[in-house]
Amino acid sequence: ETKREIYVTMDGDNENDGLSPESAVASIERAIQRMELLPKPAATKVYPGDYYENGEMIVPEGCAVRSTSGQFTTNIIAKEGREQTNMLLLNSGTYVKGFTFRNQQVDSFENPTKGFGVAFAPGARIRRSPYIRDCSQVSGFDPENIAAPLDPANGNPAVGKGGGVILADRAVLDPNTTYPYMLAFGATPRTPNGLGYVARNGAGINGISSLTIFSRIAFYAIDGGHITLNN
């Protein structure tokens, strides 16, 4: 049998091969690097826990990164100093499922390019929509704190910037891309003073069961972007 899965656990070791739960690696970044060496399609399976990552992790075409237990138990947390990076960068036909993104910040409300859970990989040629399922962005949310005072006209400085869920930007793609779309199912924007779905420069997002709470702008189509929302 050909191995096509890489495993990630909090007590793993990045020197391992990642080909079984017993020989798991310790970071999602390392798992994706190992997955690139496998026959395609392949998958990275992430066990419950908190994973502190640098971001800008490029998911190979036709591959998946998914948690084994869902977003409430599996957190991808931007390392200190990496808050304004996009975490997972998607190619054609990629699949992301079951994560909560934390400690991210969008770089701008008006011209956002960084600070999102998922975005297109630079130079990707999209022939099949990446699929993002059962994820959320809760950066800036502390359930133990009383909500900070709001000042929308000045960007809510006491709240701080939150992260974004999805950025679909055609400008970063291979110009031969004919279908610059992402599909999201239950990818929930719940990020205080952050952004939800952003589609721009002719790209699009199809959002299914797209609930939102706390976001400064929940669904943002700019510069020729297109967003379709269902349910």
Q: Give the dihedral sign, CA 28/116/218/94.
A: negative
Contact 151, 99 (CB under 8 A): no
Q: What is the pTM of this model?
A: 0.96
Cα-flanking dihedrals φ and ψ of residue 201, to 5°?
Answer: 55, 35
Q: List the structure tokens of 195.
A: 């952004």
pLDDT for position 8:
98
Residue-wise pLDDT tens digits, 22-33? 999 999 999 999
* CA 16 remoteness from chain centre: 25
Closest CA to 196 of 159, 222, 173: 222
Q: What's the pLDDT band for 142 if we cut at 50, 70, 90?
A: confident
In this model, does residue 147 exceed pLDDT 90?
A: no
In this model, does residue 2 exceed pLDDT 80?
A: no
In this model, does residue 1 exceed pLDDT 70?
A: no
**Coil vs helix vs strand at 153:** helix
Residue-wise pLDDT tens digits, 39-66? 999 999 999 999 999 999 999 999 999 9
In this model, does residue 202 exceed pLDDT 80?
A: yes
pLDDT for position 58:
98
Residue-wise pLDDT tens digits, 77-119? 999 999 999 999 999 999 999 999 999 999 999 999 999 999 9
CA angle centred on 26, ends 22 and 28, rounded to 5°: 115
Mean pLDDT throughout 128-142?
A: 94
Query: Pairing mode, if any, of strands 95-97 and 88-90?
Result: unpaired
Q: Give the dihedral sign, CA 17/18/21/26.
A: positive
Q: Please, what is the average pLDDT of the chain? A: 95
Query: Pairing mode, if any, of strands 116-120 and 181-185?
Result: unpaired
